[in-house]
Amino acid sequence: MFRCGIAYPRCRWILPLLLLFAVIFDIIAIAAQSGWVEDEDASSHYASMWEQCRGRNNNWTCKSLMEFSWAQAVAALMIIGLIILIIAFIISCVALCCSLNIPLLPFIGLLLIIAVVLQVIALIIYPVKFNELIFEGHYDYTWAYGFGWGATILMMGCGVLFCCLPRYDDYLTGLEKTKYIYTSS
């Protein structure tokens, strides 16, 4: 697959592990209550995927973002992407860890690409619409929003690898011929 020499049998264990990390990152991004966005000094306004809060010290008033259709769309796209990711993770464990099932690999790759498209749309809609809703001051995107992008990037890489691995069936199964650097003439 790569000229620098990747050990294909290790892909059988690494890819499901990377998908597990993507699932964890996605759950962190979706469930984070500390916010996806906070104002510049992080003391008077922050917003998560679900709600926005204003205030100072311990006097916060929170308002749900779910009254806006764009926020509902972001939540739906992120949750659907997470569900597809979990399904892909379970299928990858079955296809690679239990027994080697090469025909399932492109299907897993397709599932991951679909989840990537959904989550990229959600991760782009959120800042655009949030900035339209709140147009005062400067806002920073926090670690929770970054975990959403991290999960999406992991899914993209794994999706490409799952689509490419069936071309290297012999390497995965260990049936490839040994290639010698030196040959006698």
State pLDDT tens for residues 47-75. 888 888 887 777 888 888 889 899 899 99
DSSP state, residue 176: P
- Please tell me the predicted confidence (pLDDT) of residue 8: 58
What is the predicted pLDDT for the residue at 12? Answer: 73
137-170 burial: b if 16+ Cβ within 10 Å, else e: eebebbebbebbebbbebbbebbebbbebeeeee
Label residue 76 by pLDDT band (50, 70, 90). very high
By C-alpha distance, which of 22, 50, 56 is closest to 35? 50
Is the pLDDT confidence value at 154 over 80?
A: yes
68: three-class secondary structure by DSSP:
coil
C-beta separation of 88 from 108 below 8 A: yes
- Confirm whether pTM is higher than 0.85: no
Sequence ranges of the domains in the chain: 8-173
Q: Please give the biggest Cα pair distance in the chain.
A: 83
Architecture of domain 8-173: Up-down Bundle (1.20)
pLDDT of residue 171: 61
Of 100, 74, 80, 82, which Cα lies nearest the Cα of 165? Answer: 100
The crossing angle, in degrees rounded to 10, of helices 69-92 and 104-133 is: 160
